[in-house]
Amino acid sequence: MLNSALELKDLNGETGMSEVVSYEVRGSIGLIQINNPPVNALSVNKGVLQGLLDAIKSGDHDPQVSAFLIFGSGKNFSGGADISEFGKPKVPGMATLSDLLAYMDTVTKPIVAALSGPTMGGGFELSLTCHYRLASQETIVALPEVKLGILPGAGGTQRLPRIIGAEQALELITSGAFVSAQEAKSLGIVDEVIDGNLLEDSIKWIKRALRSGLPVARVSERSVKTATDPKEFIAKATGVAEKKWRGYPAPLRIVECIDAAINTSFKEGIQIERKNIEELILTNESKSLRHLFFAERQANKVVGISKETPTAKIQNVSVIGAGTMGTGIAMNFLNAGIPVTIVDTNDETLKKGIDTINKNYLSTVAKGKLSAEDHDRRVGILTGSTQLSAVSDSDLVVEAVYEEMKIKQTIFRELDSFVKPTAILATNTSTLDIDEIASVTQRPEQVIGLHFFSPANVMRLLEVVRAEKTSPEVVATSMSLAKKIKKIPVCVGVCDGFVGNRMIHTYLREAEYLIEEGALPQQVDHAIESFGFAMGPFRMCDLAGLDIGWAIRKRKKSEGLISKRYVSIPDHLCERGWFGQKTGGGYYTYEAGSRVPIVNPEVSAIVESASSQQGMIRRTIEANEIVDRLMFALINEGAEILAEGVAQRASDIDVIYAAGYGFPRYRGGPMFYAQTIGLSNVVEGIERYSKQDHGDHWEVSPFLSQLVQKNQTFE
């Protein structure tokens, strides 16, 4: 790590640290330190880039200076540009990153970068413009701009191919992959990996190199190498980008920039890169991806929970239920090194669940994604029991049994007799009232919902459901723990289905209305998948299991909770034992061991018969109507959820749908998409569909109407 005790002089020559950049001449080396915590972002507005430019210019004209060393304060060199400044006008009198790097390419004295920690985006591009790069063992480098719908816009697409070749550069830039210090060394990105004190050892490295005659080594003067014929390489890369990144414009533009790096001068390549990033920044896709970037960070902030709210240490966990959800949930904690006890009253189910966890890990080992040592470590902290008393030492108990209120209440009532007073009691229910569950305990303030999404060991979303009496400490602990187990947590309130499932129920209901009125399941799925969803509603139902929805519908029927038009089609499938992929058939049929859906003519006949029984005259429904109605259903219900305060903010809903329901990230989530197309257009669309035959279920959310009347957005 850096020795931050080194005292530097600021650009005015006074001893001490300047606000964002410090400069000192030590011997013949100009030491330039970036000091813009927490990640040393290369902010234009704060003057970081101008400070760097002034420092280099100062040393460039100083005969005492023979070389420069640029490094960052704290833990990393630079995390890159300040994303909040993207797309904004240039600040008069302040240098941009392009200004800085263009000047650096004229400097006749060697410039060395001392990289540490995450060195991303513009920070990495800054280092690529330096003539040499040294790195600490902890350094990772990446050009992740593609994840924001843009591309490296400060020479990254032109310099990186000149260092590591076109093929490897294209892979790193289109994937945004992280590269470790040692891998960067083997690729030729880094000249030396330093194991000791990065700053002091970098200074020693420069002194030795100067004695040997350290030349200026401009990356911009190198040529780009390709392993195959350049034309064939670009043609293949274009085809891959069009297929693999459908809906995302940035990868194709990156290929264009790599093509320019190969076939044009560096100056022309920079101009092509600049043109492409300026166009990409203005696209809805980039705006959507940047929206989600900030939304995920905003979701960590819970209303009423301050940074000072104490959190409990979760050192061991119990999971009640050894089924699909229970085993998946357990793996999250095992992955994080937290011991888990799985409890199930059925010995056979318990053994099967533990075997499933072991098989999942062994499969990951076979794929080379997990070491045998890590496998042994994880299964070594897993135990099982058929006795509820086994939870007595747990800091957190997660109930993951069948979705039945009486069963869950029985478990929570019994838990009072076994768990310690400080233990957090969590339910994984996806729809049930957590206040009702908490009411049977003597500690409702310790009860919370932790709604994992299936498969729980894969899906990143976690709905943290705050019940009426849940304490702030339990909420804060749950949000913190979610990040430890690498989930994206979103805090929501209690209602039927919370946020995600409440909205998906309206979406699925609308999908059922569409097939009852004239579409077929495969047509609905194709339309919404073409829109960008990972999976259409009927394929999704087959994957989740139709029996789950069937059980929920029967519960709601018995409780008198179904007030909208009822579609019997999924019931007819379930009555035949067609529960989806797990039974080889649902809305589609599936061959043994395959998840590829095959259209079943018998399902089409069931759909058409159900329409006839309802007295409906089926009609052709175009793809645009399918997409509109499904999206408007989500948006309208999302507006109601916001109005009720079940979700804290519209962006939280977007995070839930992008992370948990396969909503296309390049569209930003349902609420952001609504703003993209205009809230007034959503209201007009809903009113239009309400006037169609069988459209009387449509009713515009009063909150949505109010926003349109006031010319406001969800934000």
Given 76, 286, 478, 501, which residue is catalytic? 501
Given 273, 463, 510, 637, which residue is catalytic? 463
DSSP string covering 489-533:
EEEE--STTTTHHHHHHHHHHHHHHHHHHT--HHHHHHHHHHHT-
Pairing of strands 118-120, 140-142: parallel
Give the Cα separation of 665 and 292 in Å (integer).
Answer: 8
- 451 catalytically annotated: yes
Phi and psi at residue 241, to the nearest 5° = -65, -40
Q: Cα 692 to chain center, whole Å?
A: 38
Q: Is 142 helix (H, G, I), strand (E, B) or coil?
A: strand
Closest CA to 659 of 506, 490, 507, 519: 490
How far is residue 133 from each of residues 23, 86, 199, 564, measured CA to CA in Å?
19, 27, 13, 65
Give the Cα separation of 550 and 556 in Å (integer).
Answer: 10
Given 131, 291, 451, 505, which residue is catalytic? 451
- Torsion from C-alpha of 226, 227, 229, 234, nearest 10 degrees: -60
Q: What is the 3-state secondary structure (H, E, C) of 67-81?
A: EEEEEECCCCCCCCE
Longest dimension (CA), the chain: 92
Closest CA to 261 of 157, 182, 178: 157
First to last CA, the chain: 41
- 529 catalytically annotated: no
Q: Are 427 and 406 in contact (CB under 8 A)?
A: no
Give the Cα separation of 238 and 231 in Å (integer).
Answer: 11
- 285 catalytically annotated: no
Residue 449, H or E segment: strand 447-452
Using CB atoms within 10 Å of the CB of residue 697, give its burial: 0 to 12 exposed, 13 to 18 middle, 19+ buried: middle
Q: Are 463 and 449 in contact (CB under 8 A)?
A: yes
- 430 catalytically annotated: yes
Given 430, 457, 636, 651, which residue is catalytic? 430
Phi and psi at residue 424, to the nearest 5° = -90, 130
User: Would you name the residues annotated as active-site residues?
Assistant: 430, 451, 463, 501
